[in-house]
Amino acid sequence: MTTVELICFGNELLIRKTVNANAHWLGKRLTQLGAELVRITTVRDILEEMSSVVKEVLHRSPDVIITTGGLGPTFDDMALEAIAKALDRKLVLNKRALKLIRERFDYLKKERNIDIPFTKERENMAEIPQEATPLKNRAGSAPGIMLKEKDVLLFAVPGVPREMKAIFDFELVPYFSELSDTQYYERSIQVSNIPESEIAKAITSVREEYPSIYFKTHPKTSLEVEIHLTTVSAVDMQKKLKTVEEKIVSILKKLEGTNGKRAEITLSNDRK
C-alpha cells in the first residue's frame, strides 16, 4: 500500500483562523485511491521550521509527501524555498512554470476580462527547486510541483482548496494510479434503538474474525449508530464485506432494543 505523509503550511491553520479542510478532503481522496495517509503535520510560516519538518518526513521515507500552502506571491509563501533548503537544492526559474503562470493571466484577461499586473512577485512563483516538474493549476495562478528525492515522491500544492483539488485530481491522481494496485472498499450499517456500547460488544467476535477489515462505530445520537466497515486490498473485497455485514445484521437482530423498541437496521450500497 502506498504510504503518504501530509505537511500543511500556514499560521492560519494553527491559530484556528482557517479550518484545515484540505487535510480532511485529501485523507478521503487518498483512501479512495488505495493509499494510506499515515501522518499529518501542520507547521508555522517560519522557513527554518518548514524546512526542518520536510527533512523529518523525508527521513521517515513514506512513498509520497504532499505539502499544502505557501506557493503564492506574498512574503509568507515560503513552501518552495523550504523544500529546496531541505533537499539542498537551488531555486531556479523554470520556463515551463513561467509559461503556465503567463497562460493563466492571459486567460483571465481574455476570457474573464480580469487584468492583473504581472509583477515580479508573481513571476517568482515560477522559481522552483532544481529538477522539479511544475504542475498545471487549472483553478489559480500558482503551479504545483512534483519532484523525486531518492525513493520519495514529493508534491507541493496550493493551500486554496479549489486550487489544491484541481491540481490533485488532474495532476496527482495519475501518479497514485501507477503507484498503487489496491482499491478502497466500504460499507455502512445504520442502527437505531441499540446503544453503541452494546453494539461494540456484540460484534467483537466478527471483528476478531476479520482483522483485515477496519470496524468503526460512529454515534449519531445516543440511540442512533453507524457501523462503518472499510478495507484496502488488491483483491475484490465486496463479497467478504457483504458476508461481514450479514453476520453483523444477524447478531444485531437478536439484541433487545431500548425501551421495548425493536432494532432498526439500514444497509448502505456497495461502494469502492
Confidence of residue 269 (pLDDT cuts 50, 70, 90): low
- Residue 139: in which H helix or E strand, if any? none
Phi and psi at residue 155, to the nearest 5°? -120, 135
Task: Please compute the mean of the pLDDT values over residues 155-168 and round it to a whole number.
Answer: 98
Specify which residues 192 forms β-bridges with.
224, 264
**pLDDT, tens digit (0-9, with 9 covering 90-100), for 41-80:** 999 999 999 999 999 999 999 999 999 999 999 999 999 9
| Coarse DSSP helix, strand, coil percentages of the chain, rounded to the nearest 5 percent | 40, 25, 30
Q: How confident is the model at residue 1 (pLDDT cuts 50, 70, 90)?
A: confident
Closest CA to 87 of 172, 4, 22, 149: 149
Q: What confidence tens digit (pLDDT) does each residue in 187-228 have?
A: 999 999 998 999 999 999 999 999 989 999 999 887 899 999
Alpha helices in 169-237 (DSSP H): 173-179, 196-202, 204-209
* Average predicted confidence (pLDDT) for the chain: 92
Note if the pTM is more than 0.85.
Answer: no
Residue 270 has pLDDT above 60, yes or no: no
- What is the percent of the chain with per-residue pLDDT over 70, rounded to a whole number? 98
Query: Do 187 and 267 form a contact (C-beta atoms < 8 A)?
Result: yes
Domains and CATH numbers, the chain: 3-179 (3.40.980.10), 183-267 (3.30.70.600)
Distance CA 3, CA 65 (A): 9
